């Protein structure tokens, strides 16, 4: 946190910002706004920078796709000119002339300067209608397929978020960032190439560039400004929540926004050149800090924080657009061929699905099959594939035998909940959601029977993970990790896994003790009841039987709390132990890719030696073949290197995402846990309060 606050640019007077935001919101805030911007040269600039990313979000694909980035330096000059003309056309535009500055610079100046500003203007001043236009435009440009999707989502956002005016900005931002999330997988490569070029250009530390930009006033933005924009564009590819979170914070939003832009930009940079270790280590930190930084500033207002939470929610696209629940576990068949079928219900507004709600029936092995398909396809890309719950032969056999005892009911419920969490994790992953197999799994009536999931069952599954981790540890020795981030993260993950295992044990013992307590309380209640029944004194007898009832209820409370403990913590820990296994699998994949690259390098080296020998031996006939081979291997090596860089970037992104998800999961569970604790405590109070007069009534 300290790091982030250091990084934040010199603060602007806080009092001004809310005012500015409000102004921009009122219908004809133009006058007021321009007024302030004239009187204080400083104040518009934060606003303007804060807007920038939003604008960029809407436009960049086109920009980036069409513009060779090397041109950017020359373009701004033009854009400044054009910009000057546009404000004049509309009075309102004064208000936005600043954001437009930047925007126009990004947009290739040759087209559509006027319409976009207009739309933006309107979207800020009248809350609803134009927005969809605004979005449609960018999505048009970036990817026509997503048009409806985006439109829908934006509407949802507006319906669901409690907005008073000032938050409008942040919401728009969130929406647009989300929009980009969808695209960013596809665009990634496209983005990447230009970044490299750009990253070399601003040679000074990014902060310097930034402050310079700030110090330059309105129209003065030059080449430097252009590079800021580029940075901002890069931010688009980074997880949208960071920027949206920043915007969500009312008090300090503008500051953190600026900072976010930068930090995220730097992530992207570093992802592209993972071997700049020294610098990168420094650079990587800020993005991680960003989710916390805006939070600090937002802590004051509850409303703002609520929005923030919801925005974050959107970012992962869960609960919001896609709701999955697993219900009605049902035994199908008899004897040892019996299996449990679960009803998988999906509720969604995503246009990628044919209907809004649909249900399918799936059996456990189908879930395992989905996992296998996903890991086959995606694990080599460095994605963290959420692992399904393990197969339990013991538990399932009990169910198969068909005894209606509580332990098998508990088993089924436990598995149901685990499968639900598993599936939710899958669809929460933006890229896995796009996978046709996932869609098929959710939508298609009949799935081909998953075969060979036996390998994943119980101990086998664990063994597999262990093998993988063994392999990793062996390879770690070979691979001298050049990347500090990975070096530390791998260590961290291992430590974390151990700690989680320990915690898991603790929680298990807690749960078992609770169960014991509940059992003992029940026995005690029984003996008190007997004592009461053989008591002569009627009042005492009555009180004792009342006490027995109270104890019975308390027993129920303990039992509930035991299952609460179990489902909120024990299962959470178990999930994360499995997930950490998957994270290690990711590192493993990255390592493999590195290995391939190194092998390629070695091969290339050999080929060169062969060439040298041939050259020395003067054998021109074979020389050509050798040269061909060299070029072939050179391209291969380049490919491998690129692959490695790509997987490193993906893994890093995935791990950052994973960490965030983890924190959020834990938070959610803790709050849930506290609520359940409080509830049972309140229940307890009621019981005691009811009993007290009974005790006092004993004569």
Partner 1 sequence: MMTELSVTASSIRITDVTQDGDILTFAITSQKLNSSGGVCVFRTYEDFDWLQQNLFSQENVPGLQGVIFPPLPPKVPSPLNTASKSLKQLGFLALGHDWQSYCKALEFYLQQVATHPILSQCKALDSFLTKSESPGKQRGRKGILNRLSQAVEGMRKESHKDVDDFFQKQRHKNTNLAALSKVATEKILDVVLTEQKLALACGHFSTCLHLCVNQDDEAAVAFSKICLKLSDIVEAVKRNFEKVANNNIATLGLGLDLEARYEEAEKEMLFRRTCKLIELETVKKNTEKTKANKRDVMEEIQKATEKEFSLISSVAKQEIERFHSSRVTVLRSFLVGWCEKQLDTAKECAKLYSQYLDTCKNLFSE
Q: How far apart are CA 562 and CA 557, in angstroms?
A: 8
* Residue 296 binds to partner 1 (criterion: CB under 8 A): yes
Residues 321-360 contacting partner 1, CB under 8 A: none
Between 471 and 692, CB nearer to partner 1: 692
Residues 650-669 contacting partner 1, CB under 8 A: 656, 659-660, 662-663, 666-667
CB of 569 to partner 1, least distance (A): 9
* Residue 4 binds to partner 1 (criterion: CB under 8 A): yes
Residues 309-328 contacting partner 1, CB under 8 A: 309
* Residue 674 binds to partner 1 (criterion: CB under 8 A): yes
Task: For 27, list phi and psi in degrees, rounded to 5.
Answer: -60, -50
Beta bridge partners of 326: 344
Q: How far apart are CA 454 and CA 461, in angstroms?
A: 9
* Residue 611 binds to partner 1 (criterion: CB under 8 A): no
* Residue 678 binds to partner 1 (criterion: CB under 8 A): yes
Between 69 and 525, CB nearer to partner 1: 525
Between 188 and 309, CB nearer to partner 1: 309
Number of residues in contact with partner 1 under rule CB under 8 A: 75
Torsion of CA 151, 154, 159, 161, to 10 degrees: 180
* Residue 685 binds to partner 1 (criterion: CB under 8 A): yes
* Residue 288 binds to partner 1 (criterion: CB under 8 A): yes
Between 503 and 630, CB nearer to partner 1: 503
Cα three-residue angle 210-213-216, rounded to 5 degrees: 150
Between 152 and 309, CB nearer to partner 1: 309
Residues 155-214 contacting partner 1, CB under 8 A: none
> Which of 343, 327, 331 is closest to 403 using CA atoms?
331
CB of 536 to partner 1, least distance (A): 7
Residues 485-544 contacting partner 1, CB under 8 A: 488, 492, 495-496, 499, 502-503, 506-507, 509-510, 513-514, 516-517, 520-521, 523-524, 527-528, 530-531, 534-537, 539-540, 543
Q: How far apart are CA 652 and CA 583, in angstroms?
A: 10
Between 24 and 249, CB nearer to partner 1: 249
CB of 415 to partner 1, least distance (A): 25
CB of 163 to partner 1, least distance (A): 17
Residues 40-79 contacting partner 1, CB under 8 A: none
Q: H-type helices in 41-146, by residue range?
A: 44-58, 60-66, 75-89, 91-106, 115-125, 129-142
Between 30 and 562, CB nearer to partner 1: 562
**Residue that is written with structure tokens 């035998």 in the block:** 401
Of the candidate residues 334, 446, 480, 689, the single one contacting partner 1 (CB under 8 A): 689
Q: How far apart are CA 31 and CA 97, in angstroms?
A: 13
CA distances from 249 to 15, 177, 303, 347, 498 (A): 14, 16, 10, 30, 36
CA terminus-to-terminus distance, the chain = 64
CB of 22 to partner 1, least distance (A): 23
CB of 697 to partner 1, least distance (A): 9
The b-or-e profile of 534-548 (16+ CB within 10 A means b, else e) is eeeeeebbebbbbbb
CB of 269 to partner 1, least distance (A): 18
Q: In what order do the strands lie in the sheet with 339-348?
A: 322-332, 339-348, 357-363
Between 51 and 242, CB nearer to partner 1: 242
Where residue 402 falls (left for φ over 0; alpha for ψ -120 to 50; beta otherwise) is left
Residues 547-566 contacting partner 1, CB under 8 A: 547
Residue pair 116/138 in contact by the 8 Å Cβ criterion? no
Between 226 and 265, CB nearer to partner 1: 265
DSSP H or E run through 344: strand 339-348
Residues 617-656 contacting partner 1, CB under 8 A: 656
Between 493 and 604, CB nearer to partner 1: 493
* Residue 291 binds to partner 1 (criterion: CB under 8 A): yes
Of the candidate residues 292, 393, 455, 459, the single one contacting partner 1 (CB under 8 A): 292
Classify 657 as helix, strand or coil: helix
> Which of 491, 497, 440, 435 is closest to 465 using CA atoms?
497
> How much helix, strand and coil, in percent to the nearest 5, is found in the chain?
80, 5, 20
> Which of 13, 361, 308, 73 is closest to 170 using CA atoms?
308
């Amino acid at each position: 946190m300290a790091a982030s606050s250091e990084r934040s640019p010199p603060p602007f007077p806080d009092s001004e910002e809310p005012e500015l935001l409000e102004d921009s919101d009122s219908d004809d805030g133009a006058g007021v706004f321009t007024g302030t911007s004239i009187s204080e040269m400083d104040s518009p600039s934060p606003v303007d920078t804060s807007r920038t990313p939003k604008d960029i979000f809407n436009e960049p694909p086109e920009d980036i796709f069409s513009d060779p980035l090397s041109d950017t330096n020359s373009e701004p000059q033009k854009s400044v000119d054009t910009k000057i003309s546009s404000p004049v056309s509309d009075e309102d535009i004064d208000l936005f002339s600043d954001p437009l500055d930047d925007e126009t610079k990004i947009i290739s100046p040759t087209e559509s300067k006027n319409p976009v500003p207009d739309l933006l203007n309107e979207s800020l001043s009248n809350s609803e209608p134009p927005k969809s236009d605004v979005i449609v435009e960018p999505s048009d440009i970036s990817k026509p397929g997503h048009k409806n999707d985006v439109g829908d989502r934006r509407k949802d956002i507006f319906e669901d978020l409690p907005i008073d005016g000032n938050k409008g900005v942040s919401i728009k931002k969130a929406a647009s960032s989300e929009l980009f999330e969808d695209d960013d997988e596809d665009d990634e490569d496209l983005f990447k190439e230009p970044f490299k070029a750009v990253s070399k250009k601003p040679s000074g530390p990014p902060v310097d560039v930034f402050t310079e930009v700030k110090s330059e006033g309105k129209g003065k933005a030059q080449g430097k400004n252009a590079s800021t924009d580029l940075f901002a564009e890069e931010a688009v590819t980074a997880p949208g929540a960071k920027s949206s979170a920043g915007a969500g914070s009312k008090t300090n939003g503008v500051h953190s926004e600026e900072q976010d832009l930068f930090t995220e930009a730097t992530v992207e940079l570093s992802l592209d050149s993972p071997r700049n270790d020294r610098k990168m280590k420094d650079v990587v930190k800020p993005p991680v800090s960003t989710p916390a930084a805006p939070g600090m500033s937002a802590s004051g207002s509850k409303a703002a924080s609520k929005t923030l939470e919801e925005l974050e929610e959107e970012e992962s696209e869960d609960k919001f657009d896609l709701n999955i629940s697993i219900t009605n576990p049902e035994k199908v068949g008899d004897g040892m061929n019996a299996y449990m079928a679960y009803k998988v219900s999906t509720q969604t507004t995503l246009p990628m699905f044919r209907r809004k709600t649909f249900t399918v029936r799936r059996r456990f092995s189908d879930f395992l099959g989905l996992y296998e398909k996903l890991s086959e396809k995606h694990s080599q890309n460095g994605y963290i594939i959420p692992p399904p719950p393990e197969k339990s032969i013991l538990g399932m056999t009990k169910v198969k035998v068909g005894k209606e005892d509580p332990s098998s009911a508990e088993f089924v419920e436990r598995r149901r909940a685990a499968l639900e969490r598993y599936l939710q994790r899958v669809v929460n992953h933006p890229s896995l959601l796009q996978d046709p197999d996932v869609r098929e799994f959710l939508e298609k009536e009949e799935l081909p029977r998953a075969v060979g999931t036996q390998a994943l069952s119980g101990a086998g599954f664990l063994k597999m993970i262990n093998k993988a981790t063994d392999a990793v540890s062996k390879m770690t020795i070979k691979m001298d990790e050049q990347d500090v981030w990975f070096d530390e993260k791998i260590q961290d993950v291992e430590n974390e896994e151990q700690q989680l295992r320990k915690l898991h044990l603790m929680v298990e013992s807690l749960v078992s003790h609770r169960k014991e307590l509940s059992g003992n309380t029940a026995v005690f209640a029984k003996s008190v009841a007997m004592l009461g029944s053989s008591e002569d004194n009627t009042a005492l007898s009555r009180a004792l039987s009342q006490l027995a009832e109270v104890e019975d209820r308390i027993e129920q409370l303990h039992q509930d709390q035991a299952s609460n403990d179990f489902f909120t913590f024990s299962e959470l820990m178990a999930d994360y132990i499995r997930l950490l296994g998957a994270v290690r699998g990711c590192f493993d994949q990255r390592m493999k890719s590195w290995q391939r690259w190194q092998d390629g390098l070695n091969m290339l080296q050999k080929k060169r030696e062969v060439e040298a020998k041939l050259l020395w031996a003067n054998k021109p006939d074979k020389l050509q073949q050798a040269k061909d081979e060299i070029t072939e291997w050179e391209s291969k090596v380049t490919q491998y290197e690129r692959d490695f860089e790509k997987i490193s970037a993906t893994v890093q992104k995935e791990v950052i995402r994973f960490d965030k998800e983890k924190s959020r999961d834990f938070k959610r569970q803790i709050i849930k846990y506290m609520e359940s604790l409080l509830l049972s405590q309140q229940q307890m109070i009621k019981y005691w309060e009811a009993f007290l007069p009974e005790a006092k009534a004993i004569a």
